[in-house]
Structure 1
């Protein structure tokens, strides 16, 4: 046997072994992903919540001296209480409102007041709104009968949205509980994340990338949930001072819209129209309308200030990652998008800054 043929045989056997091992590893990875996929969204939310709330756990430990597990349990209970109490009050309020509406409709005593003539003078929607409102005040049953086909489709859509929201709420509750378990092992998890990052990108970059991911998640949590909470307080305060019916429920809807990155104007504009139509144009109603309109746009000012705070990445990168991530992956994309884009941004510039080693110039011959 010739040496060249033997060398080719050895190389072919080695290549075959590598391909077989790579195929087995790929098969194992695909099967593991399929097994884990049903729980992926739950675990992503759990990790995001754990990273966001871990500074709170350290603060509780410093103030109370509790162990990690006890402090995590306390935080989870408080978060569940804060989350479940408004939901319970909202569901109770909606149930009472539906019962009251059903009683009024059955009695046949409910009627729509006639619109003010000034409604017809509103730009764009004034004439059509005035005609519809006038017809409803004259014969509400005929108007409802004409809208019945549309109301059925809308009802089905609302029921589907309610079912989807209920499933998301249950998943979020489970994520909060699991995040408490993750926080109880926070130090171990931090070391594990750093080891994984160092194994992927090297020891020098690993710790920095791990810290960047953590800071980005917390910055987005502050820039999304914090801004939504501030906007809810500003708008809710205006609703309460003006005496808008259901001010608390409307403020809670503003909070949900803010977290979902939907405009608060979906709530503020109908309320402004309601107040102006019910009380007319006066100094008080105009001041209320201006305040509520400006408060509904507060997120456009606060988001650039808070969204990228504490992150070693330009704010536009975080903002684009949050918005693009939400378009691609929904609410959870708000957190995943900025992390991926921030890490990519840092790795790209580290690659750009790497200097190509220059070859030593040949020594000049001695004269």
Structure 2
């Protein structure tokens, strides 16, 4: 069928109008994203915290006669206290330790005891450790001068890390305040989330996707924090019983390491080595070493049991999403990764199952 010149001009004009509108919408979206992107991490953290803490608000609503604003304020104040007190204690202890170390270095009273002869008999690295330790006990200044460039680089890395942690903690506290505002309007927020999901994936899938995102965020938050807390208790009890110096601070460090999804063995193995070197090899130190090492690996058993509870997708999907998201996006990726992977998993299988029933391909009508 041939189109008349008038019809062609009308269609061309309509197509041009559509392209111009699409271009203007794209430009508007780009500008909006550039304006919003400095606050992206803050808002993502706020949504994660609000989603995680909202069930507590629902429970308290019955006792406080539905005063959502007051309930959200109380929850945020308690969260501030729970986070600020250990953070202040840890910061004060670290500052005191650094100050004492600097005073010891200035006074020249830093002395490292010589190694035991048994250290040289350790397999593979025993002799190297013995020689290094021996030089540190006899000529610490010369050893420090020898490794001055490496020590300078390590100090810069530590300083950069501490600065990043301080900035991240500030963002987290602001996000906690924003989360309180979101929780005060939790029902409206959930309804908006359902509307957005329905607009993207259809009205039949919207509520399910919104519920899936909510349950996944809560499962990851409860699983990660819960596992880290259990590990802190197990390892902290061992530190206290063995009389390890700074057992409380080390247990708190285990909690932080667990939340960051790093292996607790980064801390437990050096402590085990310290106890063996200072206390010697005995029945008590062997039992302590085995217990602490096993407790440091407990997250490998607890993650499959706790991480995917209450989520309508298989646990490996949540676990892979959490680990992959942590690698690619940091701590925020720990939550975003499993949410994206769970939603993609559900949509993929919904697409696979949403197909017309077909007869068996091998079945043919007989003549």
TM-score of the aligned structures, taking structure 2 as reference length: 0.94
With 221-230 and 306-315 compared, the bigger mean Cα shift is at 221-230
CA distance in 2 between counterparts of 1:285 and 1:20 reads: 75
2:83 counterpart residue number:
83
Partner in structure 2 of residue 73 of structure 1: 73
Q: In structure 1, what is the Cα distance between the partners aligned to 2:107 and 2:301?
A: 49
Distance 1:351 1:3, change over 3 A: closer
Q: Give the SS at the match of 2:173.
A: helix
Q: Which moves more between the two structures, 70-79 or 111-120?
A: 111-120
Please state how far the C-alpha of 1:319 moved relative to its aligned partner: 0.9
**1:365 corresponds to which residue?**
none
Aligned pairs for 1:98-117 (under 5 A) are 98-117=98-117
The equivalent of 2:168 in structure 1 is 168
The Cα of 1:74 is off from its aligned counterpart by 0.6
Q: Does 1:223 align with 2:223?
A: yes
1:130-172 Cα offsets, whole Å, 9 max, x none, are 1111122223222222222221111111111111111111111
Question: What's the counterpart of residue 327 of structure 2?
Answer: 327
Partner of 2:363: none
Count of aligned positions: 358
1:303 has 2:338 as partner:
no
CA displacement at 1:3 relative to structure 2: 6.5
1:1-367 maps to which residues of 2 (within 5 A)?
Answer: 4-65=4-65, 67-356=67-356
Shift of 1:236: 1.2
Q: Cα deviations across residues 194-244 of structure 1 (Å, max 9, x unaligned)?
A: 111111112211101100000000011112111111111111111111111
1:362 is matched with which residue?
none
SS in structure 2 at match of 1:336:
helix
Give the whole-Å Cα distance in 2 for the aligned partners of 1:249 and 1:210.
39
Instruction: State the match for 2:364 in structure 1.
Output: none
How far 1:173 moved relative to its partner?
Answer: 0.9
Give the CA RMSD over aligned residues.
Answer: 1.6
1:102 to partner: Cα distance: 2.5
**Who is 2:362 aligned against?**
none
Distance 1:149 1:33 in 2: 42
Shift of 1:66: 5.5
1 CA distance for matches of 2:104 and 2:21? 73
Query: In structure 2, what is the Cα distance between the partners aligned to 1:14 and 1:358?
Result: 41
1:119 Cα offset (Å)? 1.5
Distance 1:193 1:172 in 2: 23
TM-score of the superposition, structure 1-length normalised? Answer: 0.94
SS of the equivalent of 1:203 reads: coil
Tell me, in whole angstroms, the C-alpha distance in 2 between the residues paired with 1:125 and 1:176.
48
- Counterparts of 2:30 and 2:294 in 1: how far apart (Å)? 50
Q: Which runs of 5+ in 1 are unaligned?
A: 360-367
Q: CA deviation at 1:305?
A: 0.7
The more displaced of 179-188 and 320-329 is 320-329
- Measured in 1, the distance between the counterparts of 2:358 and 2:303 equals 45
C-alpha distance in 2 between matches for 1:123 and 1:70? 62
1:156-193 CA-to-partner distances (Å, cap 9, x unmatched) read 11111111111111111111111001001001101111
Distance in 2 between residues matched to 1:108 and 1:18, nearest whole Å: 78
